[in-house]
Amino acid sequence: MNKTLLAIDIGSANITAVIARNNLDYKINILGTGSYKSDGINKGVISNIEVASKCVKEAVLLAKRNTTEQIDSTVVSISGAYTKGLRSSGSVNIPNGLITENEINQVLQMALYNATIIPEYEVVHVIPIFFKIDDSADVENPLNMNGSRLEVSVYVVTAKKTSLTNIKSALKIAGITVNNFVLDGYATAISILDEQQKKFGATVINIGATTTEYVCYKGSSLIYDGFIPVGSNHITNDLSVMLHTPPIAAEKIKTEYGDLLKTNEELVNKKVRTPRIGDEKNSSEVSLEHVQTIIHARVEEVLTLIRNNLKKSGIHENLGTGIVITGGMSKLIGLKELATLVFDGLPVKISNPINIKNGYISFEDEKMATIVGLLLYSLEPNRNFELDSNKNLIKKRKIQERIEKVENTISSQDDSEKFVQQQREQKLKQEEHIIKGDHNTTILPTISKDKKGRGMSKFWNVITEWF
């Protein structure tokens, strides 16, 4: 049977937990979702284990409200604040000439062995940039190919051991055991980029509350990742300080009046009343032109830092299809236009994650990019070969294995009947659409896709998925 996954995105503004599993036809089925306001996390790092643990627990409890499924494994996003990326390579001989999963695992392990990893860091990802068999480069998938030598060039993501231990400890207090870590930027790119963008190259920038993660993809592989400890909360702080107004008012001004497209002439006579910090009975008038100048300065600074970092690392030349921006701050009007100027006319897109279509919860929100990426990373059967944070090979599901799984499903009608019945019962329980509790909580109900396909049609669905 397919495993039930708990995915947790630990953001500085929100913690999102999703319980999901693959349907019998390998589509992601969302069983429960919960989101809780973050605390005890600053700039991507846990600053208070007890507090952070409580917030994670609340988010997970909300997700569990709609499902009784036992969690089989947990995947958690980690911030680029304490990661380092590096390149390595490895090669192995193929004694009997046929490349199997064994040889692919061996060559990736060899590349990891050859990597110079700082002692206080541990491996999170080993991602192949390209495979080479004998003299032929450009091997997309070496499985079942013939040759005498297999080589691989990899991108290795490592993370500070103490930071990972802090996350494990926080989750342990919440009663959760972490099985896998995934870099936030990597998960985001998986959910945001389409196959063309992954192949020809793109940079994904995830601007959240206190962090900005950016990763570059090329040739369907992660080739670079970077991080800046600045996010949309910094705009709020700037507004709060410069306008002498409380942070809550500053956040409201940012989200309601933030617009980088308006010209100075349009804004010069527009005013907004803001409460004064420490003297909230009185308010003062602020010109929207001044508000825009403050927001513009901070956003330009973040984008310029990323551009300079990319230029310095030489990655700038490989941006291919351009820049894709996501995360909470990408809602800011005019961000695309300002980014186009900063990135010297490169195509810039603001994107939502791929929607997981068989649930009725909408994942088409910039804030959901990381959590959707965690689900795709863990449940999508067509993932590329790579090593995960346990140094285990992520396998492409083999055609034979998938046929067997479907055949088993067809023969074990009892199991599938039970599963379908459980899904129906859950659906009945879930009449609420979005229940908003106190300002901290958002409970999203779940739905399971109606299982129309039975027996041979399930088998047919899986077969057609391959072509």
Ligand X SMILES: Nc1ncnc2c1ncn2[C@@H]1O[C@H](COP(=O)(O)OP(=O)(O)OP(=O)(O)O)[C@@H](O)[C@H]1O
How many helical (H) and strand (E) elements, i.e. helices and strands, does the chain have? 14, 22
Considering the rule CB under 6 A, would residue 307 count as an interface residue with ligand X? Answer: no
Nearest-angstrom CA–CA distance, 385 and 392: 10
Considering the rule CB under 6 A, would residue 208 count as an interface residue with ligand X? Answer: yes
Considering the rule CB under 5 A, would residue 185 count as an interface residue with Mg ion? Answer: no
Angle ∠(379,384,387) on CA atoms, nearest 5: 85
Q: Which of residues 318-347 bind ligand X (CB under 6 A)?
A: 327-329, 331-332
Considering the rule CB under 5 A, would residue 208 count as an interface residue with Mg ion? Answer: yes
Listed residue (423, 414, 397, 411) closest to 456, CA to CA: 411
- Least distance CB 338 / Mg ion (angstroms): 20
- Least distance CB 255 / ligand X (angstroms): 4
Using DSSP bridges, classify how beta strands 149-160 and 180-183 pair: parallel, antiparallel or unpaired.
unpaired
Number of residues that bind ligand X (CB under 6 A): 22
Nearest-angstrom CA–CA distance, 266 and 287: 11
Nearer to ligand X by C-beta: 211 or 430? Answer: 211
Q: Which does 14 bind (CB under 5 to 8 A by kind): ligand X, Mg ion, none?
A: ligand X
Token couple for 350: 């603001």
Q: Which of residues 366-395 bind ligand X (CB under 6 A)?
A: 367
Residues 318, 223 contacting (CB under 8 angstroms): yes
Nearest-angstrom CA–CA distance, 335 and 255: 13
Q: Which one of 88-96, 200-208, 223-231, 346-354 is the stretch in contact with Mg ion (CB under 5 A)? A: 200-208
Nearer to Mg ion by C-beta: 11 or 142? Answer: 11
Nearest-angstrom CA–CA distance, 212 and 436: 28
Considering the rule CB under 6 A, would residue 210 count as an interface residue with ligand X? Answer: yes
Letters for 11-40 (x = contact with Mg ion by CB under 5 A, - = none) are: x-----------------------------
Using DSSP bridges, classify how beta strands 136-139 and 121-133 pair: parallel, antiparallel or unpaired.
antiparallel
- Least distance CB 232 / ligand X (angstroms): 4
Considering the rule CB under 6 A, would residue 13 count as an interface residue with ligand X? Answer: yes
Nearest-angstrom CA–CA distance, 409 and 404: 8
Q: Which does 338 bind (CB under 5 to 8 A by kind): ligand X, Mg ion, none?
A: none
Letters for 20-49 (x = contact with ligand X by CB under 6 A, - = none) are: ------------------------x-----
CB within 8 A of 181, min separation 6: which ones? 75, 76, 77, 78, 124, 159, 164, 167, 389
Nearest-angstrom CA–CA distance, 110 and 132: 14
Q: Which of residues 54-113 bind ligand X (CB under 6 A)?
A: none
Residues 88, 112 contacting (CB under 8 angstroms): yes
- Local structure of 13: helix, strand or coil: coil
Helices (H), 87-160: 101-114
Q: Which one of 60-68, 231-239, 384-392, 418-426 is the stretch in contact with ligand X (CB under 6 A)? A: 231-239
Nearer to Mg ion by C-beta: 208 or 320? Answer: 208
Q: Which does 367 bind (CB under 5 to 8 A by kind): Mg ion, ligand X, none?
A: ligand X
Q: Kindly list the residues in this chain that would bind Mg ion in the complex (CB under 5 A).
A: 11, 208
Q: Where along the sequence are the contacts to ligand X (CB under 6 A)?
A: 11-14, 44, 208-211, 231-233, 251, 254-255, 258, 327-329, 331-332, 367
